[in-house]
Amino acid sequence: MKAIAILGAGGHGKVVADLASLNGFTRIDFFDDKTKRGTMIGPWSVVGTVDDAFSQQSTYHSLIVGVGDNKTRAKLLERIPTQQRITLIHPTAVVSQYARVGEGVVVLAGAIVNTFASVGNGVIINSGAIIEHDCEIRDYCHISPGAVVAGNVVVSEYSWIGANCSIRQGITVGTNAITGMSAVVVKDVDDNSTVIGSPAKKQ
């Protein structure tokens, strides 16, 4: 039996559990600080808190973080021993044989990571997102559903690219930035800023 512990039983955690099942895990347990032990989420149950997951880690093949918030995901991934970190790729996603994908990453249904793209640790490439050739998606970013990141774009650590956002080729998105849903990003985005609209401007 292949066992995985999922840290976080919210919306993203559920998606990660489904993904783990598609990747051959047959025992899938949630650990969450805000959900009562014994709560069933579909066919899976919450079996303890996040600290419990770390005290029971030897009974799992892998641990993965199912939390959407970038900073929280980073903190939790950094506690997982390297040999138990895992990257899960949905069977309908396409990841180029020439792309590099780090640890603790999820690539969800229908997403594409194209040639020579690089995806750092703890990144979420959400459903249907496209990461084009030579992009660099740095650690702990979240690329939301349907976002299109054109070639040679850099998305720096902890940034959140909103659903359906498009980013022109060659752009750099700074650290801890947010691009809103459906934003059309045609200029570099400053660290810690939020941009919205078409063309995208600071909020």
List the catalytic residues: 133
Shortest CB 144 distance to ligand COA, Å? 4
Shortest CB 178 distance to ligand COA, Å? 5
Looking at the DSSP bridge assignments, the partners of residue 202 are 195
H/E stretch holding 184 reads strand 184-185
Residues engaged in binding ligand COA (CB under 6 A): 126, 144-145, 162-163, 178, 180-182, 194, 196-197
The residue among 55 and 203 lying less far from ligand COA, judged by its C-beta, is 203
Phi-psi region of 166 (alpha: psi -120 to 50; beta: other; left: phi over 0): beta
Length of the chain equals 203
Token pair in block for residue 11: 């919306």
Shortest CB 202 distance to ligand COA, Å? 11
SS3 category, 82: helix
- For residues 64 and 140, give the distance between their C-alpha atoms in angstroms, rounded to a whole number: 13
The residue among 48 and 162 lying less far from ligand COA, judged by its C-beta, is 162
Beta strand 40-41 with 44-48 is: antiparallel
The residue among 150 and 178 lying less far from ligand COA, judged by its C-beta, is 178
Looking up tokens 């590099």 gives: 100
Shortest CB 186 distance to ligand COA, Å? 15
User: In this chain, which residue has its C-beta nearest to ligand COA?
Assistant: 180
The residue among 57 and 182 lying less far from ligand COA, judged by its C-beta, is 182
Nearest alpha-carbon partner for 144 in 156, 128, 157, 167:
128
